[in-house]
Amino acid sequence: MRSNSNFGDSWQPAMTGNTTISSYWFNWRVLVCAIWVLVTAFFSFVLIWKYEGFHKSNEIGDETQQDRAGFLDEDETWRPCLKGIHPAWLLAFRLVAFFVLFILLIVTAFVDGGSIFYYYTQWTFTLITFYFGLGSLLSIRGCYQYHKSVSGDRVDNVELDAEQGNHAAVATASGETSSNIAEKNINPEHPQVRFVRRRADTWGYVFQMIFQMNAGAVLLTDCVFWFIIVPFLAIKDYNLSVLAINMHTINAVFLLGDTALNCLHFPCFRIAYFFLWTVTYVIFQWLLHACVNIWWPYPFLDLSSPYAPLWYFSVALMHFPCYGAFALVIKLKHHVFTRWFPESYQCGR
């Protein structure tokens, strides 16, 4: 959301008061804003506790359909959504996205200094850069498994049954099929090759959570920038730099491109992580301003304004349409690809 008049001349809001004195913090405005933040954090933790499954039994056979709301198979982190697309194409896209975003982040930090990380935009930009970096590593591992599966070898969690052409199943001691293992083709060019799919590891789940955090955060930053910050700067006769424009467009382009290619599902309860991401940023700003008297990166964060509680409440509400809009993009993708590529599309959930 940051804007510049020149590469080295960054627009900064005017100081509205000393944020290090006690009277700035001990008033009804801060109390109401703190309540909004605490309620948001509580709501997020309740969603995570209820649907993420951390408190549920991990024993085989105990998992219900509700427990599977956030279930993730390991190959979903690297497998393209269409059978005809080789996983290497998704890997190539993620590598290009990572290096472009990483270089742009370094250039922006070099031009404007470390103060850019006061801004929510740079927090989100760093997060999406990390997303593509981690995604590239997971895709490299996936391409290795894919190559081995085609070669007929057993690699990690991949077990082939090429002779019989049947699904391999892992049975529990009681004779029941484990619920954390699913079966599906990995190689459309060799339909007789089957493999046992296992639950994703910790990094796989972290990857999916970051994907859903970015889904809301990227839309929030870009919408606030283009619909609030840009009109405000136009009134003030500020010109936007190329870096500012790129940072508020290319992030969405790469994220939508990865969404079109990947096979990640989108459980809506993980809006909780999006809320917690913003709550963390707000708390960081409060702690920073309580210790150092500096300008607020966004005018609507300034707690000295009598409209501060309304601003905080409004920004919190904006999370729902931003996250919901991306969820609709996912549903649109499923609808279109299912109709256009009924035999090739493999993201059923």
Q: Counting Cβ atoms within 10 Å, is residue 210 exposed (0-12), middle (13-18) or buried (19+)?
A: buried
SS3 at position 311: helix
SS3 at position 48: helix
Q: State how far the Cα of 266 lies from the Cα of 317, in Å rounded to an integer.
A: 20
Q: How far is CA 58 from CA 54, 198, 348, in A?
A: 9, 14, 24
User: Pick from 119, 158, 74, 178: which is nearest to 297 by CA?
Assistant: 119
Q: How many CB atoms lie under 10 A from the CB of residue 5?
A: 16
**pLDDT tens digits, 195-221:** 556 777 889 999 999 999 999 999 999
What is the pLDDT tens value at each position of the chain, 349 positions in all?
444 434 344 556 666 778 999 999 999 999 999 999 999 999 999 999 988 865 454 444 444 444 456 778 888 899 999 888 899 999 999 999 999 999 999 999 998 888 889 999 999 999 999 999 999 999 999 898 887 877 765 444 444 343 333 333 333 333 444 444 444 444 444 444 455 567 778 899 999 999 999 999 999 998 888 887 777 766 566 667 788 888 888 999 999 999 999 999 899 999 999 999 999 999 999 999 999 998 898 888 999 989 999 999 999 999 999 999 999 999 999 999 999 988 888 876 5
User: Pick from 306, 305, 307: which is nearest to 14 by CA?
Assistant: 305
Q: State how far the Cα of 177 lies from the Cα of 162, in Å rounded to an integer.
A: 21
Q: State how far the Cα of 82 lies from the Cα of 276, in Å rounded to an integer.
A: 33
Q: State how far the Cα of 253 lies from the Cα of 287, in Å rounded to an integer.
A: 33
Answer left, alpha or beta for residue 61, where phi above 0 means left and psi between -120 and 50 means alpha: left
Residue type, 97: A
pTM listed for this prediction: 0.82
Measure the N-to-C terminal CA separation of the chain; round to a whole number of Å.
Answer: 34
Tokens linked to 182: 């699913």
**pLDDT tens digits, 301-349:** 999 989 999 999 999 999 999 999 999 999 999 999 999 988 888 876 5
Residue type, 166: N
SS3 at position 7: coil
